[in-house]
Homo-oligomer: A and B are copies of this chain.
Amino acid sequence: MIAKPGEEAERPSTFADQVYGRILSSIATGAFPTGSKLPSEKLLGERFGVSRPVVRDALSRLQRDGLIESRKGSGSFVLSSPPEDLSAAADMAQIARYQRYQEFRLVVEGAAAALAAERRTSAQLARIVDAHNKFIAEIENGQFLWQSDREVHIAIAEAAGNEFFVESLEGPEVRLSDFMTVSLKLTSSRSPQRGSLVAREHSNIVDAIRGRDAVAARIAMEFHLVQARRRMLDKTLSP
């Protein structure tokens, strides 16, 4: 039983996170195998001791993450299963929080990349390119260091010429670095090709900022972050 009476309206996300984590876990272990139908909202609510809106919230996020599909009138079905090593890398309930952080980053870093394309000085471009090249060199050496990934993102946010974008990514409560540790641990443990995929996505962003194309820079950054969110949960993602 997760919910306590009277608390639900206050912090609905917390309960939904736990429900999200439990269903995710059940899918990962095969208790809810690919293709199977999930129990009804009502039954899930009873099992986890939460109200139906909380269940619905968790299900709609699982759908957004590509793990289940809701069909009007017939219920929810498992579309794909997350990697088995997911639970080794992260507390399952933390995954929901990570996905929300990615949602926030998409908004902030997408806008920052567009501003960087418009306003970046030559010195700021040089710093972005340096960070990008360092990351590529490490990937080619078989390494995959979150510090270098972070450096690319921070250099871009700084080129936006607005300190609030950087501050929102690296405040004392929000830690880009914490989340990147989880993400890269997963990414690097899975396949060496994932590193080059990340580097290629970075290249698209850097090219657009170099070409002063604000629209392309925003899109390339948003695409990179959507893909990162999916890579977290998708074991079949090529390459």
A2 to B120, CA, bound (A): 21
Check A212/B64 contact, CB under 8 A, given A12-B121, A107-B107, A111-B107: yes
Interface flag for A122 (CB, 8 Å): yes
Is the pair B72, A162 in contact by a Cβ cutoff of 8 Å?
A: no
A172 and B172 within 8 A (CB): yes
Docked-complex contact A100 and B164, CB < 8 angstroms: yes
- Counting from the closest, the 4 A-B pairs by CB-CB distance are A104-B164, A168-B168, A9-B123, A223-B223
A53 touches B72 (CB 8 A): yes
- A27 within 8 A of partner (CB): no
Could you tell me the dominant secondary structure of chain A's interface residues?
A: helix
For this complex, into which size category does the number of interface residues on chain A fall?
35 or more
Please tell me which stretch of A85-93, A131-139, A187-195, A213-221 contacts chain B, meaning at least 4 of its Cβ atoms lie within 8 angstroms of it: A213-221
Nearest CB of chain B from residue A175's CB, rounded to whole Å: 11
Are B57 and A119 closer than 8 Å at their CB atoms? yes
A69-B211, A210-B69, A220-B226 known; A13 vs B163 contact (CB < 8 Å): yes
Per-position binary interface string of chain A over residues 107-118, scored 1 when its CB falls under 8 Å from any chain B CB and 0 otherwise: 110010000000
> What 16 new A-B contacts, CB under 8 Å, besides A53-B121, A69-B211, A219-B222?
A64-B211, A79-B210, A101-B164, A103-B162, A104-B165, A107-B107, A107-B108, A107-B111, A167-B174, A168-B171, A171-B171, A171-B173, A171-B174, A200-B238, A216-B226, A219-B219
Across the interface, which residues of B come within 8 angstroms of A226, CB to CB? Answer: 215-216, 219-220
Residues from chain B with a CB closer than 8 A to the CB of A108 are 107-108, 168
The answer for the CA separation of A238 and B111 in the assembled complex, in Å, is 27
